Amino acid sequence: MNCYAVILAGGRGERLWPVASAKCPKPLLPLGGEGRSLLRAAYERVAPVVGAAGKVYLVTDAGQAGRMRAALDLPEEQVLVEPEGRNTAPAIGLAAAYLSDRDPRAAMIVLPADHLVRKEEEFRRVLRAALGAAAQGHLVTLGIRPTFPATGYGYLRRGTKLMQSEERDVFRVAAFAEKPDQDTARRYVASGEYSWNSGVFVWRVDRILEEIDRHVPDLAKVLDDLSPELVSSRGDPELARRWAEIVPVSVDYGVMEKAGDVAMIPADVGWSDVGDWHAVWEALQRGVGEVASWGKHVGQDTARCLVWTTPGKVVATLGVQDAAVVDTPHALLVADLGRTQEIRALAREARPAAPDWEELRGHDSAGMLSVLEAFPVQCRDALARGQAADAPESLAGFRRVLCAGMGGSGITGDLLARLLTVEVSPHRGYDLPHTVDEGTLLVGISYSGNTEETLTAFRQGLERTSRAMAITAGGELARLCGERGIPWLEIPSGLQPRAALGYLLLSSVPWFSGWGVLRYDVGPALKLLEDMAGELAPGRSGNVAQQLAENLHNCVPLVYAGDPLTSVAAFRWKTQINENAKQPAFWADLPELCHNEIVGYELTQALLPSACVVFLRSSFDHPRVRARVDILKEVLDRRGLQHLEVWARGESPAEQLLSLLYLGDWTSAYLALRNRVDPSSVQPIEELKERLGSGQSS
């Protein structure tokens, strides 16, 4: 009989707060104390039973699919993605519907991704026995011999013996019992008739679908309507719509308790659901004084404690007993080890409330969000300004461009390098490279017109080439151009330089077009920016920039790009997060970072535990870069490092580049609000300029 394994990876582990979270759900935690995650342990436990790695499937929800898949390095087709978790019956139904198309009479082993099994060989022996019973049409579940009167588990009452399989007795399940109270649990354990319900099931695909048909007809209807392509599709709106119709129900309650032919095999496999910190304490190896620890712990007169800490941090305890001490970069839990079941409610209270963006908007005293919302208008105005004057003939014929500019103005040079057909060198600093000559078009770019480095480099350049122009809102640069008769594009003043990027970049585009060196037409991208303004402005529901800001809150972003086109976007994300959100951020690009930064991950957890990699993705990424990103995600997961990805929008290079820039600008502004700082102010930059003094450059 053909046989598949289906790992259900939906659990978040709320009682394992503060370690388990949406960003790091329970299946990805190394709760067994051996370094491998529960999910990987589940995979390695079951793979030998089904034979081939290609026969292990994962069911997870859209929010977790990337992380879970990367953690196992499974091919996409082996990961079935529920648009959202609807409890175990729909997840199992989805997998059964998918497998039924391959082989309806195949057997299917279902196991949770977040349990621990110490006796793995024995577990596999029981599974093989269960497969024998499943072949006869039974719905088989594994019954765990209870070791204490647990109130947190469901129980199975053993009925008559049904058969023998692989020398194991297979019993009918006489009754299912919900989580009992303490007295009832004691009675169950004393009777010897009850087992814990392990959530591990073995059945034939056709049998479970029959039972779903009979007992959960609404779910069966949805499953019947789904084609295998739809089941395996990601982010399909049709699947999301149908999935939202499903009433969440567990397979125990929805199917097993009602089905007629339910069997169980007693299993003594060292099982634990590691559902709370007490269970983790039991699962970990305990040392002197029954103390179990993960991470660095030093203790004196400490007994029966669980201590869990993040790498790079030491927890010290003195005279502490019966406690769980769980430390993370963001939260610390100190609890009575006997009451860790109660943590769920406490965690809900301790978790930061969802941000009130309306209230946070009060920090935007200088109106950065309004400027951002008007960015597409700024871009159109910039193009119109450039078109108003013809490209000066005297400057035509250059072979290369050098853009001298700093900070928010300086990035214009990097962007022009992507948009023009000639070589463009952005220059940030005082002395110009020796390559500047008569064949070079010198472009001085300074919003204020007073930036010392830009003025110095521009003046130097004027000695070497007669082809010079400037882009500025005024200041010394405008004065100099006026005095020497140098063409310059005047842009409106009154903005923060970095918020005037539309003017700085696009006002010169018509001139470059006139000189015949424009590679990409940026006009069509403006429509996309307008759509994005509508989606990302404050008050829009499902605002992606706000969600990103929320994900990056309290993190140090490491922004990665996979293409020379988008690497400037990664740089802009970094600088905008610095200047708007007033926090550190770093950037790097692929494939280069695979030759250095990747090695630094070894100690990132210890030195920078709140690092979060942001992959900026584009359809122009090289196929080998795409393969590298997949591997990198796996490496990051193995190291316990957070990551997320952001896809460029639109078709053309200009659309993809500008969409990433614009999303980054919004994200950094919302991150500023989340950090409760004014996105506009850049007091340290001003102070430095002030202290260096004006007039130095003249």
Among 498, 617, 643, 674, which residue sits at the site for ligand F6R (rule: CB under 6 A)?
498
Q: Which residue has the tokens 């290079």?
A: 653
Does the annotation mark 278 as catalytic? no
CB contact set of 160 (below 8 Å; sequence gap of 6+): 171, 172, 174
Among 447, 511, 520, 560, which residue sits at the site for ligand F6R (rule: CB under 6 A)?
447
Nearer to ligand F6R (CB atom), residue 50 or residue 455? 455
Q: Hey, what are 126's tokens? A: 């029981």
The phi, psi pair for 588, rounded to 5°, reads -160, 165
Does the annotation mark 595 as catalytic? yes
Cα–Cα distance measured from residue 180 to residue 146, given in angstroms and rounded to the nearest whole number: 13
Residue type, 232: S
Determine whether 40 is exposed, middle or buried from the number of CB atoms within 10 Å of its CB (0-12, 13-18, 19+): buried
Site for ligand F6R in 549-578 (CB under 6 A): none
CB-based contact 651:528 (threshold 8 Å): no
Specify the stretch interacting with ligand F6R by CB under 6 A; choose among 4-12, 239-247, 322-330, 401-409.
401-409
Nearer to ligand F6R (CB atom), residue 386 or residue 408? 408
668 binds ligand F6R (CB under 6 A): no
Among 454, 513, 543, 580, which residue sits at the site for ligand F6R (rule: CB under 6 A)?
454
CB-based contact 418:653 (threshold 8 Å): yes
CB of 682 to ligand F6R, least distance (A): 5
Among 10, 407, 413, 653, which residue sits at the site for ligand F6R (rule: CB under 6 A)?
407
Compute CA distances 362 → 89, 183, 367, 496, 551, whole Å: 46, 55, 10, 19, 21
Read out DSSP for 171-236? EEEEEEE-S--HHHHHHHHHHS-EEEEEEEEEEEHHHHHHHHHHH-HHHHHHHHH--HHHHT-SS-
27 binds ligand F6R (CB under 6 A): no
Among 141, 448, 604, 668, which residue sits at the site for ligand F6R (rule: CB under 6 A)?
448
Specify the stretch interacting with ligand F6R by CB under 6 A; choose among 46-54, 221-229, 283-291, 403-411.
403-411
Cα–Cα distance measured from residue 636 to residue 601, given in angstroms and rounded to the nearest whole number: 8
Q: Which residue has the tokens 């994962």?
A: 58
502 binds ligand F6R (CB under 6 A): no
Please give the residue whose beta carbon sits closest to ligand F6R in the complex.
Answer: 407
CB of 579 to ligand F6R, least distance (A): 6
682 binds ligand F6R (CB under 6 A): yes
154 binds ligand F6R (CB under 6 A): no
CB of 371 to ligand F6R, least distance (A): 11
CB of 417 to ligand F6R, least distance (A): 18
Q: Hey, what are 354's tokens? A: 């969802």
Contact pattern for ligand F6R over residues 575 through 614, marking x by CB under 6 A: ----x-----------------------------------
Q: Hey, what are 582's tokens? A: 């007033």
82, 85, 88, 89 alpha-carbon torsion, rounded to 10°: -60
Nearer to ligand F6R (CB atom), residue 195 or residue 508? 508
Specify the stretch interacting with ligand F6R by CB under 6 A; choose among 10-18, 98-106, 263-271, 406-414.
406-414
143 binds ligand F6R (CB under 6 A): no
Alpha helices in 247-341 (DSSP H): 251, 277-283
Specify the stretch interacting with ligand F6R by CB under 6 A; choose among 27-35, 407-415, 426-434, 597-605.
407-415
From 476, 579, 597, 655, active-site residue:
579
Nearer to ligand F6R (CB atom), residue 325 or residue 403? 403
672 binds ligand F6R (CB under 6 A): no
CB atoms within 10 A of CB 596: 9
Among 197, 310, 496, 580, which residue sits at the site for ligand F6R (rule: CB under 6 A)?
496
Nearer to ligand F6R (CB atom), residue 221 or residue 479? 479
According to DSSP, residue 303 is labeled B
Read out DSSP for 539-578? T-TT-HHHHHHHHHTT-EEEEEESSHHHHHHHHHHHHHHH
Q: Hey, what are 130's tokens? A: 């269960």
Does the annotation mark 689 as catalytic? yes
Determine whether 190 is exposed, middle or buried from the number of CB atoms within 10 Å of its CB (0-12, 13-18, 19+): exposed
Site for ligand F6R in 183-212 (CB under 6 A): none
Among 21, 100, 302, 409, which residue sits at the site for ligand F6R (rule: CB under 6 A)?
409
Q: Kindly list the catalytic residues.
A: 579, 595, 689
Binding residues for ligand F6R, rule: CB under 6 A, are 406-409, 446-448, 451, 454, 496-498, 579, 682, 685
